[in-house]
Amino acid sequence: MQNERARYLADHLAALPSDQQMAMELHHLAGYSISEIAERMQKSKASVAGLLRRGLEQLREDLKHKEKELRQGRLAISNPTRLV
């Protein structure tokens, strides 16, 4: 289950626009500060903060959608006569 979650997150991270993806990877996976990312990406700190915010919002939405699908799938399996 853990590997499935990691794979799902990696897939959705890869689907983000390239700037958001880079900022997210540098900050959350590599541990760079917003200042360091701004310097590396040649963007303002506010711009990097916006990229991170939008990236997180998108991932949250994707995960909510996936969670809803999983719940519906469990309901369908646990009660095969119920229409989902």
Q: Tell whether 63 is covered by a domain.
A: no
User: What pLDDT is recorded for position 75?
Assistant: 53
* DSSP string over 30-48: S---HHHHHHHHT--HHHH
Q: Tell whether 28 is covered by a domain.
A: yes
The answer to whether residues 73 and 82 touch, using CB atoms and an 8 Å cutoff, is no
The answer, yes or no, to whether residue 78 has pLDDT greater than 70, is no
Q: Tell whether 78 is covered by a domain.
A: no
Give the CATH number of the domain where residue 11 resides: 1.10.10.10
Which residues span the domain enclosing 27? 2-57
What is the percent of the chain with per-residue pLDDT over 70, rounded to a whole number?
Answer: 86
SS3 35: helix
Q: Tell whether 71 is covered by a domain.
A: no
Q: What is the number of domains present in the chain?
A: 1
The answer to whether residues 84 and 72 touch, using CB atoms and an 8 Å cutoff, is yes
The answer to whether residues 51 and 19 touch, using CB atoms and an 8 Å cutoff, is yes
Q: Tell whether 66 is covered by a domain.
A: no
Q: Tell whether 19 is covered by a domain.
A: yes
- pTM of the complete model: 0.77
User: What pLDDT is recorded for position 33?
Assistant: 98
Q: Tell whether 45 is covered by a domain.
A: yes
The answer to whether residues 56 and 10 touch, using CB atoms and an 8 Å cutoff, is no
Q: What is the pLDDT of residues 18-55, one digit of tens each?
A: 999 999 999 999 999 999 999 999 999 999 999 999 99
Q: Tell whether 15 is covered by a domain.
A: yes
Tell me 17's DSSP state. Answer: -
